[in-house]
């Protein structure tokens, strides 16, 4: 039985990409709706094409729908044209699977991948007819849960969210669904608060309303008070110890329109212990846990059969570090080449680059190569613990040019701790060196070198969490300097908006008081802040002024090691003392080796979580 679509064909004919809102895609799940089932809505506070590309949501969708007591549906942020139509016609935000109002479901779960998606969470709740502030929602309105990397500093979103899930969701999501199912069956004892008290006992669950923050007169945090017995002083992330034992998204939904990652996404492993000091994911997903090669090959077979995709993207934090990478690629290409299925690596580390590997993955479809030196000088690469040299890059690029490649993309960051203008000049010099290498090797011009420069944002749970971010003016000055230094027409330069990065920095290291800023900004039109055409910096600056907060207090201020940080009770399992040691090592430009292959760096995660590195190449 097809549900009644709340959106008329007339409305769909007036909006861009109507297939964002229609559902019925291949592999989407439909269950008979009954009140006994836990109705779970998985939400991405971004447009359909971005949301449909999120691997975590694909996994949770399959996991939840495999449960007989749960029905998981999806919703994404309507684009501005569709939002206008929905508000004009009083159409509430609805699920793609059954077209029912999101407000009628038991629980809505948002994944927070990026700080500038927060305003969309508020907007989606409002579009659904759900009060945006948790304290104003009644017993009949859905619970709101958030997970994803940004949950590790949940505080700026604390006013709007009933509970957060820290870490990997495959096991805990089932525990949450089971708890809600039992609570519903028992006629909801204690109401929502009773359920939240039960959930707070589970590992990895944070209920912000069970805590109260006290501040010093200078605005820094003084203490965190626990308000109920169920509240834990520290919430430690969830971790899957054996990735071969949990469900993977082998039957993902195939969209009718092109999405950002329109291909098979194969997660080889989780974690990365190379220890780049700017990298939050490298801390949040420790330790490294690889999947077995046979498991991965079986996944690909199922995925090819279930989707019809003809490209497999090997997605992990540093895919080239998978210990069985070469035999895996050989096997995948041998097995699937006849079906025209290609294999791709999103980016390659210059120190582990192998031209044979690059040739292997590009047998079916050839594209450009991407490398990430991150910084323009060896000194700054030592500060960030990148562990690669200019020689590594020139060797890799030379090998690529000799083998027939001519398109190279280079990723850098500006605004890193201790950076000087000399480091900025180093980016231009390195890009020029790459372009010159092509001429030396080929005897002619013709290289296409793209330099992509992002602005560094210090993130919680990293060695740089204490660093005061560069101001907007300073970043813009550095961007201008870099533009003036690149003169070769074979080098193209792209950069991020400095104001966007500044606001990202504010919310990344923010506390609960930012909820008032976010609410005010959203009420004055903030939404799709991560999209340059919709980003309204002035709206945020006016919101800060209106609530009496200084954004520079959060973004630009160096923090003392002894300061109580807003996210201190939300643990990645990595000791603060280890991060402090790394912050000091950065200032001394000293290198910390990868604990996966060398000595244990004593970050504390394996001990705290009773976990160990899973590396099949060393078994």
Q: Where are the domains of the chain?
A: 9-236, 263-513+549-608
For the record, the structure tokens of 11 come out as 């409305």
Is-contact 139 191, C-beta < 8 A? yes
Around Cβ 534, how many Cβ atoms within 10 Å?
A: 14
- Weakest mean pLDDT among 30-34, 465-469, 557-561: 30-34
Is-contact 131 144, C-beta < 8 A? no
Confidence of residue 347 (pLDDT cuts 50, 70, 90): low
Find the length of the chain: 619
List CB contacts of 84: < 8 A, sequence separation 6 or more: none
List CB contacts of 231: < 8 A, sequence separation 6 or more: 200, 207, 210, 211
For the record, the structure tokens of 146 come out as 């958030």
- Does pLDDT of 1 surpass 60? no
- Does pLDDT of 361 surpass 80? no
Q: How far apart are CA 89 and CA 86, in angstroms?
A: 5
Angle, alpha carbons 609-299-170 (nearest 5°):
30
Q: What is the CATH number of domain 263-513+549-608?
A: 3.80.30.20
- Does pLDDT of 466 surpass 60? yes
* Residues linked to residue 343 through DSSP beta bridges, in sequence order: 312
Q: How far apart are CA 117 and CA 341, in angstroms?
A: 34
Q: How far apart are CA 489 and CA 508, in angstroms?
A: 37
What pLDDT does residue 342 have?
Answer: 85
Mean pLDDT of the chain: 93
Domains 9-236 and 263-513+549-608 share a fold: no
* Residues linked to residue 410 through DSSP beta bridges, in sequence order: 371, 451
Whole-Å CA distances, 438 to 405, 430, 442, 572: 9, 13, 6, 44
Task: Read off the pLDDT of each residue in 109-134 and give the average, rounded to a whole number.
Answer: 98
Largest CA distance in the chain: 78
* Residues above pLDDT 70, as percent of the chain: 97
What pLDDT does residue 366 have?
Answer: 57
- What's the predicted TM-score (pTM) here? 0.95
Task: Provide the 8-state DSSP code for 348.
Answer: B
Tokens 């923090």 map to which residue? Answer: 559
Of the candidates 259, 260, 211, the one whose C-alpha atom is nearest the C-alpha of residue 231 is 211
For the record, the structure tokens of 131 come out as 């009060």
For the chain, what percentages of helix, strand and coil (3-state, to nearest 5) are there?
40, 15, 45
3-state secondary structure at position 314 = strand
Q: Helices marked H in 443-536 — which ranges?
A: 472-485, 498-508, 514-523
What pLDDT does residue 153 have?
Answer: 98
Q: How far apart are CA 114 and CA 105, in angstroms?
A: 25
Q: How far apart are CA 406 and CA 553, in angstroms?
A: 45
For the record, the structure tokens of 102 come out as 């999101």
Q: How far apart are CA 371 and CA 452, in angstroms?
A: 10
Of the candidates 358, 260, 266, the one whose C-alpha atom is nearest the C-alpha of residue 315 is 266
- Weakest mean pLDDT among 326-330, 561-565, 599-603: 599-603
Q: Could you give phi then psi for residue 374, rounded to 5 degrees?
A: 70, -40
3-state secondary structure at position 56 = helix
Task: Read off the pLDDT of each residue in 335-343 and give the average, rounded to a whole number.
Answer: 87
Q: How far apart are CA 307 and CA 322, in angstroms?
A: 25
Whole-Å CA distances, 577 to 56, 428, 525: 30, 36, 41
Around Cβ 413, how many Cβ atoms within 10 Å?
A: 22
Q: Express each pLDDT in 26-55 by its tens digit.
A: 999 999 888 889 999 999 999 999 999 999
Beta strands in 216-295 (DSSP E): 221-226, 235-236, 264-267, 269-270, 289-290
Range among 324-328, 341-345, 521-525, 607-611 with highest mean pLDDT value: 521-525
Measure the N-to-C terminal CA separation of the chain; round to a whole number of Å. Answer: 52
Is-contact 274 603, C-beta < 8 A? no
Whole-Å CA distances, 445 to 204, 427, 439: 55, 20, 5
- Does pLDDT of 364 surpass 70? no
Name the superfamily (CATH) of residues 9-236: Cobalamin-binding domain (3.40.50.280)
Q: Express each pLDDT in 187-216 by its tens digit.
A: 999 999 999 999 999 999 999 999 999 999
Q: Express each pLDDT in 164-179 by its tens digit.
A: 999 999 999 999 999 9
Rg (CA), the chain: 24
């Amino acid at each position: 039985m097809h549900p009644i679509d709340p959106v008329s064909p007339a409305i769909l004919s007036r909006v861009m990409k109507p297939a964002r809102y229609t559902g019925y895609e291949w592999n989407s799940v439909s269950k008979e709706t009954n009140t006994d089932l836990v109705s779970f809505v998985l939400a991405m506070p971004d447009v359909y094409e971005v949301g449909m590309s999120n691997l975590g949501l694909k996994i949770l969708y399959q996991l939840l729908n495999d449960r007989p007591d749960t029905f998981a549906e999806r919703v994404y942020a309507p684009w501005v044209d569709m939002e206008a139509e929905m508000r004009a016609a009083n159409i509430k935000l609805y699920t793609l699977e059954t077209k029912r109002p999101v407000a009628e479901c038991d629980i809505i779960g948002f994944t927070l991948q990026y700080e500038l998606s927060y305003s969309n969470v508020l907007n989606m709740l409002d579009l659904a007819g759900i009060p945006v502030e948790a304290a104003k929602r009644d017993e009949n309105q859905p619970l709101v849960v958030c997970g994803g990397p940004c949950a590790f500093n949940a505080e700026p979103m604390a006013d709007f969210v009933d509970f957060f899930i820290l870490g990997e969701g495959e096991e805990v999501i089932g525990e949450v669904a089971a708890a809600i199912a039992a609570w519903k069956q028992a006629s909801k004892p204690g109401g929502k608060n009773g359920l939240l008290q039960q959930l707070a006992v589970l590992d990895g669950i944070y209920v912000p309303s069970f805590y109260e923050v006290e501040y010093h007169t200078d605005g820094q945090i003084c203490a965190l008070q626990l308000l109920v017995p169920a509240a834990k002083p520290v919430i430690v992330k969830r971790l899957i110890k054996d990735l071969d034992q949990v469900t993977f998204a082998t039957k993902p939904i195939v969209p009718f329109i092109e999405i950002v990652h329109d291909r098979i996404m194969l997660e080889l492993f989780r974690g990365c212990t190379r220890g780049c000091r700017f990298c939050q994911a490298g801390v949040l997903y420790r330790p490294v846990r690889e999947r077995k090669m046979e498991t991965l090959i079986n996944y690909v077979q199922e995925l090819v059969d279930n989707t019809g995709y003809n490209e497999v993207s090997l997605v992990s934090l540093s895919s080239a570090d998978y210990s069985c990478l070469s035999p895996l690629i050989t096997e995948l290409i041998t097995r699937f080449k006849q079906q025209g299925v290609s294999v791709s690596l999103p980016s390659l580390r210059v120190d582990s680059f192998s031209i044979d590997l690059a040739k292997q993955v590009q047998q079916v479809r050839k594209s450009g190569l991407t490398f990430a030196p991150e910084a323009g000088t060896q000194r700054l690469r030592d500060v960030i613990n990148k562990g690669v040299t200019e020689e590594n890059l020139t060797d890799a690029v030379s090998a690529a040019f000799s083998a027939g490649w001519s398109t190279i993309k280079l990723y850098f960051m500006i605004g890193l701790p201790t950076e000087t203008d000399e480091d900025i000049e180093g980016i231009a010099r390195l890009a020029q060196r790459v372009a010159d290498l092509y001429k030396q090797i080929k005897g002619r011009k013709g290289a296409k070198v793209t330099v992509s420069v992002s602005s560094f944002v210090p993130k919680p749970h990293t060695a740089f969490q204490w660093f005061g971010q560069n101001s907007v003016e300073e970043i813009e000055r550095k961007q201008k300097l870099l533009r003036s230094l690149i003169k070769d027409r074979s080098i193209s330069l792209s950069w991020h908006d400095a104001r966007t990065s500044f606001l990202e920095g504010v919310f990344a290291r923010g506390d609960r008081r930012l909820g008032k800023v976010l609410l005010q900004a959203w009420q004055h039109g903030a939404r799709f802040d991560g999209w340059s055409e919709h980003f309204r910096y002035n709206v945020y600056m006016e919101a800060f002024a209106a609530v009496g907060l200084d954004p520079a207090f959060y973004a630009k201020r160096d923090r003392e090691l002894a300061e109580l940080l807003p996210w201190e009770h939300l643990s990645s399992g990595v000791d603060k003392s280890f991060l402090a040691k790394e912050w000091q090592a950065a200032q001394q430009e000293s290198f910390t080796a990868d604990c996966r292959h060398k000595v244990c760096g004593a970050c504390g995660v394996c001990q705290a979580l009773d976990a160990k590195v899973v590396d099949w190449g060393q078994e």
